[in-house]
């Protein structure tokens, strides 16, 4: 007799039923990570359905290396599905992606911010629209190739940093909500390193086992942000002045969109005695303000669109001791989180950080352990 669902042990995805009766939608980018997830779950006997999203006009990207969701990657995902033996579908999300991610990316750059479109893509496309598609397909859960861990705590699912700090993608997933976390699975988060992933790909004989990792933002060829912005917003590269923080005009620039907070190289104002950095962008006046490095130091960070994943509501305390990361490449630093409302907060950094830029994310972590407590979007520093 079959075990009653109340007494049946949980499978590896956390469901009290056989693997063959557990449908899991795998978001497949065509890279090695998501391909390994799909192959591993299929080998374990799960009812796997692969989905790849066509996110942008990939006509110019067919031969481009290092970008996800381009034509080559759709082909690679399809090859993996055919080889392993599970159904695979390509969904046209171009309009949704343009409206939810690309348009905001362009507007944020024009406003002098430094946006992180990969976070918006996870938040507004993969973990919202695609997740809803997974539910419509009667999937029990959705799995991705992200390097992050989902653990069950006292109050339910928790988000934790990946076992491999070098691969951890928690910065890009801070806006994952509790409801989404209930439905998501991240099978690679506990692996020791990327070599372990590639070893699994070789074990399964996947054609993408040696495929290079994606490097650029998918819709930004060769990392040329300015060229994309000029195409989306003609006239965005209007010239203006490069001005020292003390008021001196040092030169001219060919558009504010070519500069980011903290930039030192490529300013076009060589020959000065002191090294200068971009410390502020005055979009309305079309001015790039430069100054010495110390002007980049920031102690207070003002946040909007806060997503809180702690056990108690964020407003139950006036202050939360946390670790924060203000850029994806920075290590977590000690800070005090002070909620202003459920969706707004101010973070005080115990040691000043340089180059804190509007448009970036500020991600919260517990002071001990690996738990991710959420984060918010940087509106201003001070």
Digit-coded pLDDT (tens) for 124-144: 999 999 999 999 999 999 999
301 has binding-site annotation:
no
Name 322's Cβ contacts closer than 8 Å, sequence gap at least 6. 335, 336, 337, 347, 364, 365, 366, 367, 373
Token match 């491999």: residue? 164
Alpha-carbon gap, residue 105 to 130, rounded angstroms: 20
145 has binding-site annotation:
yes
pLDDT (0 to 100) of residue 116: 92
Alpha-carbon gap, residue 343 to 377, rounded angstroms: 10
Are the C-beta atoms of residues 176 and 122 closer than 8 Å to each other?
Answer: yes
30 has binding-site annotation:
yes
pLDDT tens by residue, 247-287: 999 999 988 888 988 899 888 887 777 899 999 999 889 99
Catalytic residue (one of 68, 69, 118, 121): 121
pLDDT (0 to 100) of residue 16: 97
With 0.85 as the threshold, say if the pTM is over it: yes
- Cα separations in angstroms, 286 against 238, 289, 360: 8, 10, 21
CATH for 19-204 (3.40.50.620, 3.40.50.150, 3.40.470.10, 2.60.40.1190): 3.40.50.620
Residue 69, pLDDT above cutoff 60: no
| Known catalytic residue at 141 | no
- The side-by-side arrangement of strands in the sheet containing 184-185 is 88-92, 47-54, 23-27, 141-143, 184-185
pLDDT (0 to 100) of residue 66: 47
**Across residues 310-334, what is the average pLDDT?**
96
Residue 6, pLDDT above cutoff 90: no
- Cα separations in angstroms, 375 against 114, 131, 308, 378: 17, 21, 7, 9
328 has binding-site annotation:
no
pLDDT (0 to 100) of residue 34: 98
**Across residues 216-234, what is the average pLDDT?**
82
- Cα separations in angstroms, 91 against 8, 42, 54, 66, 94: 36, 21, 6, 21, 9
Catalytic residue (one of 68, 141, 218, 362): 218
Residue 31, pLDDT above cutoff 70: yes
* Residue 364 burial by Cβ neighbours in a 10 Å radius (0-12, 13-18, 19+): buried
Tokens of 55: 């996110």
Residue 216, pLDDT above cutoff 80: no
Task: Pick the range with the lowest mean pLDDT from 118-122, 155-159, 176-180, 230-234.
Answer: 230-234
The fraction of the chain above a pLDDT of 70, given in percent, is 94
The CATH superfamily assigned to 237-291 is Adenine nucleotide alpha hydrolases-like domains (2.30.30.280)
Name 147's Cβ contacts closer than 8 Å, sequence gap at least 6. 33, 162, 164, 167, 168, 169, 186, 188, 189, 191
Instruction: Identify which of 59-63, 65-69, 130-134, 256-260 has the greatest average pLDDT.
Output: 130-134
375 has binding-site annotation:
no
- The side-by-side arrangement of strands in the sheet containing 277-282 is 249-253, 240-244, 287-291, 277-282
Name 248's Cβ contacts closer than 8 Å, sequence gap at least 6. none
| Known catalytic residue at 218 | yes
The fraction of the chain above a pLDDT of 90, given in percent, is 75
Average pLDDT, the chain: 91
The CATH superfamily assigned to 298-378 is Translation factors (2.40.30.10)
pLDDT tens by residue, 148-199: 999 999 999 999 999 999 999 999 999 999 999 999 999 999 999 999 999 9
34 has binding-site annotation:
yes
Buried b (16+ CB within 10 A) or exposed e, 276-287: bbbbebeeeeeb
At residue 57 the predicted structure's pLDDT band, cuts being 50, 70 and 90, is low
pLDDT (0 to 100) of residue 70: 57
Whats the size of the chain, residue-wise? 382
Beta strand pairing call for 287-291 and 277-282: antiparallel
Domains 19-204 and 298-378 share a fold: no
pLDDT tens by residue, 77-115: 999 999 999 999 999 999 999 999 999 999 998 888 888
**Across residues 319-327, what is the average pLDDT?**
97
Domain boundaries, the chain: 19-204, 237-291, 298-378
């Amino acid at each position: 007799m079959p075990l009653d669902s109340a007494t049946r042990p949980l499978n590896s995805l956390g469901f009290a039923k056989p693997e063959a009766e557990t449908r899991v939608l795998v978001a497949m980018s065509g890279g090695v990570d998501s391909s390994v997830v799909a192959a591993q779950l299929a080998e374990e006997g799960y009812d796997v359905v692969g989905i790849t999203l066509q996110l942008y006009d990939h006509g110019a990207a067919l031969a481009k290396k290092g970008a996800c969701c381009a034509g080559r990657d759709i082909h690679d995902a399809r090859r993996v599905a055919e080889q392993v033996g599970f159904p695979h579908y390509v969904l046209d999300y171009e309009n949704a992606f343009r409206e939810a991610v690309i348009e905001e990316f362009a507007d944020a750059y024009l406003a002098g911010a430094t946006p992180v479109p990969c976070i918006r893509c996870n938040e507004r496309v993969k973990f919202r629209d695609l997740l809803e598609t997974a539910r419509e397909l009667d999937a029990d859960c959705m799995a991705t190739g992200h390097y992050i861990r989902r653990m069950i705590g006292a109050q339910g699912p928790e988000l934790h940093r990946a076992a491999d700090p070098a691969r951890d993608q928690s910065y890009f997933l801070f806006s994952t909500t509790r409801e989404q976390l209930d439905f998501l699975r991240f099978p690679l988060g506990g692996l020791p390193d990327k070599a372990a992933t590639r070893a699994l790909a070789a074990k399964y004989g996947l054609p993408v086992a040696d495929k290079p990792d994606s490097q650029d933002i998918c819709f930004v060829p060769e990392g040329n942000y300015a060229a994309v912005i000029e195409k989306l917003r003609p006239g965005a590269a209007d010239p203006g002045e490069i001005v020292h923080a003390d008021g001196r005009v040092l030169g001219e620039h060919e558009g504010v969109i070519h500069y980011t907070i903290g930039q030192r190289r490529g300013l076009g104002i060589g020959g000065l005695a002191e090294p200068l950095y971009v410390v502020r962008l005055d979009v309305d006046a079309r001015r790039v303000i430069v100054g010495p490095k110390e002007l980049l130091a920031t102690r207070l960070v003002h946040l909007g669109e806060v997503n809180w994943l702690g056990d108690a509501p964020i407003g139950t305390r006036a202050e939360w001791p946390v670790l924060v990361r203000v850029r994806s490449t920075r290590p977590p630093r000690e800070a005090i989180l002070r909620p202003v409302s459920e969706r707004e907060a101010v973070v005080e950094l115990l040691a000043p950080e340089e180059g804190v830029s509007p448009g970036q994310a500020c991600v919260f972590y517990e002071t001990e352990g690996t738990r991710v407590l959420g984060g918010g979007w940087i509106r201003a520093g001070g």
